[in-house]
Amino acid sequence: MAELRIEGLRAEIEGKPILQGVDLVLRTGKVHALMGPNGSGKSTLAHVIMGHPSYTVTGGRILLDGEDILELPPEERAVRGLFLGFQYPAEVSGLTTGKFVKRVLEKHPARNMPVTQMIKELKDALTRMGLSQEFINRSLNEGFSGGEKKRMEIVQMLMIRPRFAVLDEIDSGLDIDALKDVAEGINSLRGPEFCAFVITHYQRILEHVHPDFVHIMYRGRILTSGGRDLVETLEAKGYEWLRKEFGIEE
Ligand code: ADP
Ligand code: MG
Ligand code: MG
């Protein structure tokens, strides 16, 4: 079992404080969901976990199996088993999906494999995500539809097999078929060595990927945590209920 422990995390972007003391413990073997209104800091948390250089950490720690990873660059965090599926995946001109995956896997000792094996696994992952094999030779994400980009994030996750997969709004913009494929991909990795951290606005994906824990983020903090029933309460009563429940001023 591995543990990602976030303690009192504070972070800002362009001098604007966003994370106001986030406490959260993720362990492999479990699926966590993170919900919260727009602008509450969910994507900021995802980026800070991965070490995105635009954000400045101003307090707290992130410990991976006891090791503080805040000083490590994103590549080192990836090698240690962290993965971020972006809310807005970037288009990478001039680098094919096949070459990109090959380069990434070369940096993951446990997933380094002969090219023929890699291609075989990549084809399988593409098929499972409803993408044709032609995507291997297309520039990564270039001209992909929104849904194709999200499916491709899951293809990468399936190839890398991270220990902690932070998936930022992987469900937004997906139709029901794409949503089911993506959910199936996440569920297929479920096991003692894997933790998914599913960031979402909507209950919909959580009907297919069943979270063990649900956390609500509000204005840069985890306001409350619970089980799946918290999703239903939130869906029924809205964030307005949260404000009243926790006595938050407008
Ligand atoms: P969420 O993912 O929960 O919708 P974000 O983490 O994307 O929230 O954003 C949190 C806050 O940080 C918002 O108020 C947003 O406007 C602000 N923010 C995000 N990126 C930047 C940026 N590059 N410059 C200034 N403010 C930003
Ligand atoms: Mg948002
Ligand atoms: Mg976001």
| CA-41 nearest atom, ligand 1 | 6
For ligand 1, the distance from its centroid to the CA atom of residue 166, given in whole angstroms, is: 17
Q: Considering only CA atoms, which residue is closest to atom 20 of ligand 1?
A: 13
Pick the closest to residue 231 from 213, 243, 244 (CA basis): 213
Could you tell me the strand order of the sheet in which 16-27 lies? 16-27, 3-13, 55-64, 67-68
pLDDT at residue 128, rounded to an integer:
97
Measuring from each residue's beta carbon to the nearest atom of ligand 1, which residues come in under 6 Å?
13-14, 16, 18, 36, 38-44
Banded pLDDT at 181 (limits 50, 70, 90): very high
pLDDT at residue 109, rounded to an integer:
84
Query: What does the alpha-carbon distance between residue 19 and residue 150 come to, in Å, rounded to a whole number?
Result: 26
Q: Is the pTM of this model over 0.90?
A: yes
Average pLDDT over residues 155-163: 98
> What domains sit in the chain, N to C, each tagged with a CATH number?
3-88+162-245 (3.40.50.300)
Ligand nearest to the CA of 37: 1
DSSP codes of every residue in 212-229: SEEEEEETTEEEEEE-TH
pLDDT at residue 239, rounded to an integer:
86
Q: How far is CA 157 from CA 10, 85, 124, 185, in A?
A: 27, 8, 13, 9
Query: What does the alpha-carbon distance between residue 148 and residue 9 come to, in Å, rounded to a whole number?
Result: 33
pLDDT at residue 249, rounded to an integer:
78
Q: What's the pLDDT tens digit per position in 83-129? A: 999 999 999 999 999 999 999 999 998 898 999 999 999 999 999 99
Question: In the predicted model, is pLDDT for residue 250 greater than 80?
Answer: no
For ligand 3, the distance from its centroid to the CA atom of residue 38, given in whole angstroms, is: 7
Q: Is there a contact between 185 and 154 (Cβ–Cβ < 8 Å)?
A: yes
pLDDT at residue 242, rounded to an integer:
86
Q: How far is CA 197 from CA 30, 51, 165, 186, 231, in A?
A: 9, 16, 6, 10, 15
Banded pLDDT at 182 (limits 50, 70, 90): very high
For ligand 3, the distance from its centroid to the CA atom of residue 160, given in whole angstroms, is: 23
pLDDT at residue 247, rounded to an integer:
84
Cα–chain center distance at 103? 21
pLDDT at residue 245, rounded to an integer:
87
Q: What's the pLDDT tens digit per position in 14-64? A: 999 999 999 999 999 999 999 999 999 999 999 999 999 999 999 999 999
For ligand 1, the distance from its centroid to the CA atom of residue 189, given in whole angstroms, is: 30
Q: What's the pLDDT tens digit per position in 207-249? A: 999 999 999 999 999 999 999 999 999 889 988 888 888 888 7
Residue 111's identity, in one-letter code, is: R
pLDDT at residue 7, rounded to an integer:
98
Q: Considering only CA atoms, which residue is closest to atom 17 of ligand 1?
A: 39
For ligand 3, the distance from its centroid to the CA atom of residue 168, given in whole angstroms, is: 7
12, 14, 18, 198: residue to mutate for ligand 1 pocket, most atoms within 8 A of CB = 18
β-pairing verdict for 164-168 and 3-13: unpaired
